[in-house]
A and B are shown apart, each in its own frame.
Chain A
Amino acid sequence: MNAGKTDAIIIGAGWAGAILAKELTEAGLSVTVLERGDDRATAVEGDYPGSIDELRGAIRHRLFQNLSQTTVTIRNTIGQVAVPYRRLAAFLPGEGVGGAGLHWSGVHFRVAPDDLALRSNVIARYGRNFIPEGMNLQDYDVTYEELEPFFDKAEKVFGTSGEPHTIKGKIAGKGNTFAPDRSDAFPLPAMKDVYSASLFKTAAANVGYHPYSLPAANASAPYTNPYGAQMGPCNFCGYCSGYDCYMYSKASPNVNILPALRQDPKFTLITKAHVLKVNLDSDRKKATGVTYLDLRTNRQVSLDADLVIISAFQFHNVHLMLLSGIGRPYDPIANTGTVGRNFVYQTITTSRAWLPSTHYTNLFVGAGGAGVAIDDFNSMNFDHGPLGFVGGSPVWVNQAGAKPIAAAIGGPGGKAPTWGEGYKDAMVETYRHSLTIDAHGSNMAYRDVYLDLDPTYTDAYAQPLLRMTFTWKDNDIRMNQYVVSRIEPIMKEMGATRYSLAKLETGELFDTRRYQTTHLGGGAVMGADPKTSAVNRYLQSWDVPNVFVIGASAFPQGMGYNPTGMVAALAYWSAYHIRTIYLKNPGPMVQA
């Protein structure tokens, strides 16, 4: 069935899709957003007290992707047979209006400017030989100065709480001393530090590091954003991560952007619309629209458009490009093609400190984006010369609200039993008197770590699953081990009665059974060279110029920071150039 034509189609109603929809309707285009999941609204999914239900929420995946319909396959190395990711664990993609932006936590970073030109910076400082064999280190081809107005805009839309370091070159607060200069203050003051985070702040400063309160897309006070969307103050209920915020305090596409869009007659949202592929003309240089499956009727529908935005989340973006034949699939053996190249993730390990039994950390109190961090070992903020690795990790106490089922299944930590005799004792001590410190770090790109289509497994719609070939590499393991060793002095200074430091072990393989983060990246990276990037600096496909691919898929490396602030800034950056350049003269914005 052909459903006619619209100016622009947007695939996916998460953060990236909502931002592009808002920008393109503002530019006067008719926009249709196709979302494969259900419509979602905080009035329903965030309805209190039914939303405060750990079993139904994070444990039984109320808001997460339904793997029974489609998933990915995973293997560690090229020689292995990939097998399906059958149960959600290592990462938790979203589904339904809002995408993972409805159940994210809200840590809202900009970018460490050095990370945008990491290859150039590493070579300038340490020489070409410092880059290990097989590491595909690349620059983004965009600078922090170019992106700054869009970081600023995203923070104002998200209602971000934070403390600046400098504004227009002048010291403006006690924010992160490593953070780049800002054109304006955060829209809201920083969130309060919970007890464990304040202990960390004092201890980290005492051992000579530079702690700061995390920038959070959790509202520290009532706020109205530029779209007229209203947020209430966060009460530290601890139900950010995995849930819809019942207080309308955590930024989400649903609360911060969609209310304005839903009133716009140029905006159409079609849910239960699973996009099967982007349709291309015969020479594959132009997209004509998309074909989707209407999951309500089980009928295939084609919809035409002049412009197609792929914003379906990092690996779904790559999957759709491969299924549609946009660009050349990456071949790690021949080292040709770009789609699927530079697939990256994030390293994270969680260490624990126990305090004397007179100190209660009240682990259930918290907010997803709040906490205290140090950047002393992130990005290029320290001397990598004698250490011999590329990358780094922020280190933080991010007490997001530990719920009892997850805590109980995770166990008391250390060497304590995970069930039976002795378990309760240890669990009570851990839940009442401990706190955790994460090393949340970068992950570099490698020639043999990539995405392609699986030769065997298919989804419920008979399309091949995406295949991930991924494992931890020596550079990133050593980075993690080094940064974790720098946590030890903080543990001691905090007065921990005991602590356990968690690090990646040498030779450790990626384990799909343990939650890492949902900060996957790359696979359709941005860059200056069409041989090593799938999209140009405006996130426009090099091969099919009326297709833009928005998301963390554009990151050439996995960074130490959480990705969504960067995803949102890139979305606004791309939209700005579509509006000011592309729409006036559709075609490639950068000559290959």
Chain B
Amino acid sequence: MKRPSSTRRRFLAGLLGSTSFWLYSGHDVWAGSLATETHPYTPRYFTPEEWRFLNAACERIFPTDAHGPGARSLGAPEFIDRQMDTPYGHGALWYMSGPFLTAPANLGYQLSLTPRDIYRQGIAGADAYTRQHHDGRGFADLDAQAQTALLKDLEHGEMSLGAVPAHLLFEQLRQNTLEGVFSDPLYGGNKGLAGWTLLGFPGARADFMDWVNQEGAPYPFGPVSISGETA
């Protein structure tokens, strides 16, 4: 009756030795976004200039601090770059037929831009704006404080980036950064499972029969990934 047992057994077997690894191979459509390269990562979609912007922005959104690594060392920029090659990056999950009308914000996204477009046009606009206001220096060359201030301006839409509303670029960055920090390392982010460790999320363990109610005690085990990596 219960079919999961064979894969579940294989999976748990994979956990026994910390070096024993097996690569999960069911993600055919997603192949493009899977992390297989070794470091240093070379971006496939972003240009070198965009890549510097992206790295700096991700790190400000989820900074390195006393709690641990930031988005950059967790691989969020790499995650985002890989996502640009998926149906998502190309806007293929969205209804993208016109006419594209201006409508109240509460009726949702109404532009013809895909995530790839939002980054390409938005980063160019944000960097140009920064150069204008910071003696020709781009976003990545500013200090952390100035970068944060600039992101706040983007967030509140206090500048225009051509076809891309500033807050749209910001929200795209924020969401994708957090996806990169907290998704399975399969996709290039959450390196060392440090995103999950921060929150206390146990990853793919997915069996809490003994932990339904322990009167508020913390869950005792660290995270494990789909490929069997542990923190």
Contact = CB atoms under 8 A, between A and B. Distances in A.
Interface of A: 42-43, 46-50, 52-56, 59-61, 66-68, 70-71, 74-76, 80-81, 83-89, 192-195, 198, 230, 232-233, 235-239, 246-248, 355, 358-362, 364-365, 403-405, 407-409, 418-421, 423-425, 427-428, 431-432, 456-458, 509-513
Nearest to B202: A364
Interface in B1-20: 1-4, 7-8, 11
Contact of B179 (A59, A66, A358): A59
Contacts of A192: 212-213
A83 B3 contact: no
Interface residues of B, number: 71
A86 B109 CA distance: 7
Given A50-B24, A87-B109, A457-B97, 14 more contacts: A46-B3, A48-B4, A48-B206, A49-B8, A52-B206, A53-B226, A75-B107, A87-B108, A193-B212, A362-B208, A364-B201, A408-B181, A424-B198, A509-B104
Contacts of A68: 92-96
A49 B203 CA distance: 10
A83 B101 contact: yes
B95 to A, nearest CB: 4
Count chain B CB atoms within 10 A of each CB in A75, A76, A237 and give the residue with the most.
A237
A195 B2 contact: no
B208 A236 contact: yes
Given A87-B109, A355-B216, A513-B106, A404 B196 contact: yes
Q: Provide the main secondary structure of the chain B interface.
A: loop
B113 to A, nearest CB: 11
B99 A194 contact: no
B212 A420 contact: no
B101 A236 contact: no
A424 B67 contact: yes
A112 to B, nearest CB: 28
A425 B199 CA distance: 10
B215 interface: yes
A420 B63 contact: yes
Q: Provide the main secondary structure of the chain A interface.
A: loop
B120 interface: no
Contact of A247 (B2, B183, B202): B2
Given A50-B27, A86-B94, A42 B3 contact: yes
Contacts of A80: 103
B106 A510 contact: yes
Interface in B190-215: 195-196, 198-204, 206-209, 211-215
Nearest to B207: A235
B67 A425 contact: yes
B157 to A, nearest CB: 15
Contacts of A230: 1-2
Interface string B44-73: 000000000000000011110101000000
A52 B204 contact: yes
A574 B28 CA distance: 42
11 contacts: A47-B4, A48-B4, A49-B11, A84-B97, A86-B94, A87-B93, A237-B206, A405-B179, A408-B181, A419-B151, A513-B109
A123 B30 CA distance: 57
Closest 3 CB pairs of A and B: A230-B1, A237-B206, A359-B216
B40 interface: no
Contacts of A61: 93
Contacts of B60: 420
A67 B93 contact: yes
B148 interface: yes
A512 B108 contact: yes
B107 A74 contact: yes
A239 B95 CA distance: 27
Contacts of A359: 216
Contacts of B179: 55, 59, 405, 409
Count chain B CB atoms within 10 A of each CB in A56, A425, A456 and give the residue with the most.
A56
A403 to B, nearest CB: 8
B69 to A, nearest CB: 11
A84 B96 CA distance: 9
Contacts of A235: 206-209
Nearest to A410: B178
Contact of A50 (B93, B96, B107, B226): B226
Contacts of A431: 199-201
Count chain B CB atoms within 10 A of each CB in A86, A355, A359, A458 and give the residue with the most.
A86
B206 to A, nearest CB: 4
Given A232-B1, A358-B216, A89 B108 contact: yes
